[in-house]
Structure 1
Amino acid sequence: MTSQRETVEVDPVLFRAVYDSPAALPGEHRWTTPESDVRRIEKLLGMPLRSIGAPLWVSGDEPDCPKCGRRVNWYDIVSSALSGVHDRMMIATVILGDRRYVNTEVPDAIAGVRCTDCRTPIEGLRSFKCHNWAYAFEALEAVRQRMAGASVVGRQLADEPQPGAPVE
């Protein structure tokens, strides 16, 4: 292990053996992101509706925001990461991609996360992962093209619900 945070790609066999089980997540509590917040993530990233099909796991010592009590999840992490840490295409690639990454240090709290409801800094999250990337409903490249506004396989992006538009 290193003393600094480093994220490295690992072989899928090693990843499954060590990290695929939610029980492997560090922290006292483990939970999944509610479906409603998964849809909010898609909207925030400009992804087509229902692009994310896998459970989005979170773990930590304090699952709820200390100020407003909201259950913190991937939506808070993604929203915080878009504030200057990562771009939306990189986040979509991590969620829907088939490559596996692990951090090499003993997990401290995830830095820079704020509650999306009250903006309180969240200090108790230890890990987050997409449990099984195989559940992505569309090919990653097709989703990325649609996020960028390109038509995909003869369908125009205009045929799909747009971020910010009411969903029926």
Structure 2
Amino acid sequence: MDVPWYAGHGGCLVVRLMGAIEVFFGCATRPPRGVNGKNIKLNSTQNLKTFIFNTDLSAGRINGFAPGDVVGGKFKWGNIIIIFKQANTNKDTLVHEIGHSLTLRHVFDIKAPHTFYQGHSDKVMDYTWSSSSPNVMNPNKRKLFVRYQWYKMQSDKSTYKL
């Protein structure tokens, strides 16, 4: 998903959700600039900042969204996190979406090194609802990262090394 900065819209960010819905977010005085001084997209690999947008929009069961980009034919996680109205008070949703921006997959993703059933673990990268029945909520509080996830987040190019 390409997430451009539209200066022509008063400096506002326009995000195309699910390929159809365009959402306008807070305005800024100018687009971010790369090390060469040229304007860059928010999801650019040159951009080392993560932008978090808390919205008053409802999105059904979707609590948050961390859009990525396809770069050179490969999917790359981006630098944008959108938290929808129903999750504005859920800190675990914010941490979950930050995990995506730091390249983490869901714990139930078949490409993840270790997999769990969706909606049945206490892992931050799980969902709050079960795949077997969308009306069944995860009985566990999402609070843990798996060890490999800590290492993966530390190796992300946007994290600062002390």
TM-score by length of 2: 0.23
Q: Which has the higher helix share?
A: 1
TM-score (norm 1): 0.23
**Greater RCO between the two (CA within 8 Å, min separation 6)?**
1
